[in-house]
Amino acid sequence: MKKVIGLALLAAVSAPSAFATSVNYFAGGGFGSHYSEMKGYGTTLDDRTGAFHIRGGAYINDVHRVTLTGNFAGDAELFSASGNVAGDDISINGELNQNEWLASYDYVHAINNEFSVFGGVSAGFVKNKTTISWDINGTPDSDSHSETDFAVGAQVGVQYTLTKELSIDGTYRNMGKSLNEDGIKVTGSEFAISLDYRF
Protein backbone atom coordinates (compact mmCIF):
# COMPACT_ATOMS: atom_id res chain seq x y z
CA MET A 1 0.00 0.00 0.00
CA LYS A 2 2.86 2.36 0.83
CA LYS A 3 4.40 1.67 -2.57
CA VAL A 4 1.14 2.50 -4.34
CA ILE A 5 0.79 5.77 -2.40
CA GLY A 6 4.43 6.60 -3.09
CA LEU A 7 3.99 6.00 -6.83
CA ALA A 8 0.81 8.10 -6.87
CA LEU A 9 2.58 10.99 -5.12
CA LEU A 10 5.53 10.70 -7.50
CA ALA A 11 3.16 10.80 -10.52
CA ALA A 12 1.27 13.80 -9.10
CA VAL A 13 4.49 15.73 -8.52
CA SER A 14 6.06 14.90 -11.88
CA ALA A 15 2.92 15.43 -14.03
CA PRO A 16 2.91 19.25 -13.94
CA SER A 17 6.57 19.46 -14.96
CA ALA A 18 6.03 16.97 -17.80
CA PHE A 19 2.99 18.94 -18.98
CA ALA A 20 4.89 22.23 -18.79
CA THR A 21 7.60 20.97 -21.16
CA SER A 22 4.93 20.29 -23.81
CA VAL A 23 3.56 23.85 -23.76
CA ASN A 24 4.92 26.48 -26.16
CA TYR A 25 3.83 30.08 -25.67
CA PHE A 26 3.49 32.56 -28.51
CA ALA A 27 2.74 36.21 -29.19
CA GLY A 28 1.96 38.00 -32.41
CA GLY A 29 -0.34 40.18 -34.41
CA GLY A 30 -1.49 41.06 -37.87
CA PHE A 31 -4.10 42.68 -40.06
CA GLY A 32 -7.13 41.75 -42.08
CA SER A 33 -10.29 42.67 -43.93
CA HIS A 34 -13.28 43.03 -41.58
CA TYR A 35 -16.89 42.64 -42.78
CA SER A 36 -19.74 44.17 -40.74
CA GLU A 37 -23.43 43.47 -41.28
CA MET A 38 -26.47 44.90 -39.51
CA LYS A 39 -29.98 43.50 -40.00
CA GLY A 40 -33.17 44.99 -38.64
CA TYR A 41 -36.58 46.35 -39.59
CA GLY A 42 -36.43 44.48 -42.91
CA THR A 43 -33.17 46.17 -43.95
CA THR A 44 -29.62 44.84 -44.30
CA LEU A 45 -26.68 47.24 -44.10
CA ASP A 46 -23.11 46.11 -44.61
CA ASP A 47 -19.59 47.22 -45.47
CA ARG A 48 -15.98 46.07 -45.35
CA THR A 49 -13.08 47.83 -43.65
CA GLY A 50 -9.52 47.14 -42.50
CA ALA A 51 -8.63 45.76 -39.06
CA PHE A 52 -5.57 44.91 -37.01
CA HIS A 53 -5.08 42.59 -34.04
CA ILE A 54 -2.67 41.55 -31.32
CA ARG A 55 -2.73 38.14 -29.71
CA GLY A 56 -0.97 35.67 -27.48
CA GLY A 57 -1.47 32.16 -26.23
CA ALA A 58 -0.08 28.66 -25.97
CA TYR A 59 0.28 25.46 -27.96
CA ILE A 60 -0.30 22.28 -25.97
CA ASN A 61 1.54 19.36 -27.57
CA ASP A 62 1.50 21.31 -30.87
CA VAL A 63 -2.06 20.10 -31.44
CA HIS A 64 -4.27 22.13 -29.11
CA ARG A 65 -3.97 25.93 -29.19
CA VAL A 66 -5.56 28.53 -26.92
CA THR A 67 -5.41 32.20 -27.89
CA LEU A 68 -6.39 35.59 -26.48
CA THR A 69 -7.00 38.19 -29.20
CA GLY A 70 -7.76 41.90 -29.29
CA ASN A 71 -9.15 42.84 -32.72
CA PHE A 72 -9.70 46.46 -33.72
CA ALA A 73 -11.64 47.34 -36.89
CA GLY A 74 -12.01 50.70 -38.58
CA ASP A 75 -15.29 52.54 -39.15
CA ALA A 76 -17.45 50.73 -41.71
CA GLU A 77 -19.83 53.02 -43.62
CA LEU A 78 -23.25 51.36 -43.55
CA PHE A 79 -25.17 53.97 -45.50
CA SER A 80 -24.86 57.45 -46.96
CA ALA A 81 -27.45 59.72 -48.57
CA SER A 82 -27.87 63.37 -49.49
CA GLY A 83 -30.44 65.58 -51.15
CA ASN A 84 -32.73 68.56 -50.87
CA VAL A 85 -35.73 68.15 -48.60
CA ALA A 86 -38.25 70.99 -48.31
CA GLY A 87 -35.58 73.48 -49.37
CA ASP A 88 -32.94 72.18 -46.97
CA ASP A 89 -29.69 70.60 -48.17
CA ILE A 90 -29.34 67.44 -46.09
CA SER A 91 -26.71 64.73 -45.98
CA ILE A 92 -26.70 61.75 -43.61
CA ASN A 93 -24.51 58.72 -43.10
CA GLY A 94 -24.16 55.85 -40.64
CA GLU A 95 -21.05 53.99 -39.49
CA LEU A 96 -20.41 50.88 -37.42
CA ASN A 97 -17.19 50.24 -35.50
CA GLN A 98 -16.49 46.79 -34.03
CA ASN A 99 -13.78 45.88 -31.51
CA GLU A 100 -13.41 42.31 -30.24
CA TRP A 101 -11.78 40.72 -27.18
CA LEU A 102 -11.82 36.98 -27.76
CA ALA A 103 -10.64 33.71 -26.25
CA SER A 104 -10.22 30.94 -28.81
CA TYR A 105 -9.48 27.24 -29.02
CA ASP A 106 -8.10 25.58 -32.17
CA TYR A 107 -7.25 22.02 -33.07
CA VAL A 108 -4.11 22.14 -35.24
CA HIS A 109 -3.40 19.30 -37.69
CA ALA A 110 -0.01 19.15 -39.40
CA ILE A 111 -0.05 18.24 -43.09
CA ASN A 112 3.73 18.24 -43.37
CA ASN A 113 6.69 20.02 -41.75
CA GLU A 114 5.63 23.40 -43.15
CA PHE A 115 1.84 23.44 -43.50
CA SER A 116 -0.90 22.84 -40.94
CA VAL A 117 -4.64 23.38 -40.97
CA PHE A 118 -6.72 24.36 -37.95
CA GLY A 119 -10.25 24.99 -36.83
CA GLY A 120 -11.95 25.94 -33.61
CA VAL A 121 -14.30 28.16 -31.67
CA SER A 122 -14.12 31.65 -30.18
CA ALA A 123 -16.02 33.42 -27.42
CA GLY A 124 -15.69 36.85 -25.90
CA PHE A 125 -16.92 40.40 -26.02
CA VAL A 126 -17.69 42.54 -29.04
CA LYS A 127 -18.11 46.29 -28.71
CA ASN A 128 -20.36 47.77 -31.38
CA LYS A 129 -20.38 51.53 -31.79
CA THR A 130 -22.91 52.98 -34.23
CA THR A 131 -22.63 56.61 -35.28
CA ILE A 132 -25.22 58.58 -37.25
CA SER A 133 -23.95 61.91 -38.56
CA TRP A 134 -25.84 64.52 -40.56
CA ASP A 135 -25.44 67.93 -42.06
CA ILE A 136 -28.34 70.36 -42.59
CA ASN A 137 -27.50 73.46 -44.60
CA GLY A 138 -23.85 73.31 -43.58
CA THR A 139 -24.50 72.61 -39.88
CA PRO A 140 -23.12 69.19 -38.88
CA ASP A 141 -24.22 67.05 -35.95
CA SER A 142 -23.99 63.42 -34.88
CA ASP A 143 -25.20 60.84 -32.40
CA SER A 144 -23.44 57.66 -31.21
CA HIS A 145 -24.48 54.53 -29.37
CA SER A 146 -22.13 51.88 -27.94
CA GLU A 147 -22.95 48.45 -26.58
CA THR A 148 -20.70 45.58 -25.51
CA ASP A 149 -22.12 42.08 -25.66
CA PHE A 150 -21.03 38.48 -25.35
CA ALA A 151 -20.49 36.70 -28.66
CA VAL A 152 -19.55 33.25 -29.93
CA GLY A 153 -18.19 32.17 -33.27
CA ALA A 154 -15.87 29.85 -35.14
CA GLN A 155 -12.74 30.01 -37.26
CA VAL A 156 -10.76 27.93 -39.75
CA GLY A 157 -7.38 28.52 -41.31
CA VAL A 158 -4.01 27.40 -42.53
CA GLN A 159 -0.58 27.88 -40.96
CA TYR A 160 2.81 28.07 -42.65
CA THR A 161 5.93 27.51 -40.54
CA LEU A 162 8.79 29.83 -41.48
CA THR A 163 11.26 28.79 -38.78
CA LYS A 164 11.09 26.96 -35.46
CA GLU A 165 9.98 30.22 -33.82
CA LEU A 166 8.07 32.05 -36.60
CA SER A 167 4.83 31.09 -38.32
CA ILE A 168 2.14 32.76 -40.45
CA ASP A 169 -1.58 32.10 -40.05
CA GLY A 170 -4.34 32.80 -42.56
CA THR A 171 -7.65 32.76 -40.67
CA TYR A 172 -11.32 33.19 -41.51
CA ARG A 173 -13.51 33.93 -38.47
CA ASN A 174 -17.25 34.58 -38.15
CA MET A 175 -18.86 36.07 -35.05
CA GLY A 176 -22.58 36.67 -34.47
CA LYS A 177 -24.68 38.44 -31.84
CA SER A 178 -27.77 40.57 -31.19
CA LEU A 179 -27.18 44.29 -30.75
CA ASN A 180 -30.26 45.13 -28.67
CA GLU A 181 -33.72 44.11 -27.57
CA ASP A 182 -35.30 45.63 -30.70
CA GLY A 183 -34.18 42.60 -32.71
CA ILE A 184 -31.34 44.30 -34.59
CA LYS A 185 -28.76 41.64 -35.46
CA VAL A 186 -25.09 42.52 -35.89
CA THR A 187 -22.53 40.07 -37.23
CA GLY A 188 -18.86 40.45 -37.99
CA SER A 189 -16.48 38.30 -39.99
CA GLU A 190 -12.98 38.70 -41.30
CA PHE A 191 -10.04 37.20 -43.08
CA ALA A 192 -6.81 37.93 -41.23
CA ILE A 193 -3.09 37.30 -41.60
CA SER A 194 -1.03 36.83 -38.42
CA LEU A 195 2.68 36.57 -37.71
CA ASP A 196 3.44 34.70 -34.48
CA TYR A 197 6.63 34.14 -32.50
CA ARG A 198 6.97 31.07 -30.29
CA PHE A 199 9.11 31.21 -27.18
CA 180 to chain CA centroid, Å, is 20
For residue 138, the one-letter residue type is: G
The CATH architecture annotation of domain 24-198 reads: Beta Barrel (2.40)
Global confidence as pTM: 0.80
HSE-CB of 108 using CA atoms within 13 angstroms? 25
Of 153, 160, 149, residue with least CA distance to 189: 153
Amino acid identity for residue 131 in this structure: T
User: What is the per-residue pLDDT for 178?
Assistant: 56
For the chain, give every domain's residue range: 24-198
Q: Identify the pLDDT of residue 180.
A: 57
DSSP H helical ranges for the chain: 2-21
Amino acid letter at 31? F
CA distance 157 to 195: 13
User: What confidence score (pLDDT) does residue 2 get?
Assistant: 43
Per-residue confidence (pLDDT) for residue 37, from 0 to 100: 86
Tens-binned pLDDT, residue by residue, of the chain (199 aa): 444 334 333 444 444 444 445 899 999 999 999 998 888 777 888 889 999 999 999 999 889 999 999 999 988 888 889 999 889 999 999 898 999 999 999 999 999 999 999 999 999 999 988 899 999 999 999 999 888 888 899 999 999 999 999 999 999 999 877 555 566 788 889 999 999 999 9
Closest listed residue to residue 192, CA positions, set 17, 58, 73, 97: 73
Cα Rg of the chain, angstroms: 23
Rounded (5°) CA angle 102-42-72: 20
